[in-house]
Structure formats: structure tokens, C-alpha cells
Amino acid sequence: MLMYLAANTRPDIAYAVHQAARFSQNPKNSHALTIKHILRYLEKTQDKGMYMPPDGYFKLSCYVDSDFGGLFGSEDPGNPVSVKSRTG
């Protein structure tokens, strides 16, 4: 149930639920306490959330690292390695 909530309605608990779900095969008492803590958090924050009234206007913006880590164009374009994304 918590995975459904985290994925569909309550993204604020996604990390906590993921960490608790890692131990679903062999849960300990501390994991049960963690689940209870998450449930108490959900109970206390029932009235919190985002209100997004429909207004007929929908715009989606997406930003990506399209210059391949700042190295696009600075290396030989014939080299296939020069257009791979770099991470630091």
C-alpha cells in the first residue's frame, strides 16, 4: 500500500518507503517501527498537499544536459567517444 501511495499520490514518502521495502524479505522489529513512523506521518499530513485546479492550460517543461557535460564541440567530431555524456 505504501509503494502505491509513494508512486501515485505521495512522492514525499518515496525514499522512506523504498528504504523500508528493501527489507521486506526479512523484516526486523526496527522495520516495523519505521513503517509505523511513516503511517503516523501520513496521518498527520492528511491536509497537506498541492492544489492544482484545472484551468485548461497545460505546459510541460523539460531541461536536459544537451551539451554532453560542456565538452560538445571541443573534441574531434569524428571520434565517437567525444559525444558521450560525462559525469564528474
For residue range 35-61, list pLDDT tens digits in order: 999 999 999 998 887 677 788 887 877
Interatomic CA distance for residues 66 and 75, integer angstroms: 15
* Residue 62 counted as domain residue: no
Where helices occur in 1-88 by DSSP H, the ranges are: 2-8, 14-21, 29-44
Percent of the chain with pLDDT over 90: 35
The residue segments making up the domain with residue 8 are 2-44
Interatomic CA distance for residues 13 and 87, integer angstroms: 28
* Residue 12 counted as domain residue: yes
* 74 has pLDDT over 70: no
- Residue 6: how many other CB atoms lie within 10 Å: 19
* Residue 53 counted as domain residue: no
Interatomic CA distance for residues 10 and 50, integer angstroms: 10
Task: Report the domain count for the chain.
Answer: 1
For residue range 24-42, list pLDDT tens digits in order: 889 999 999 999 999 999 9
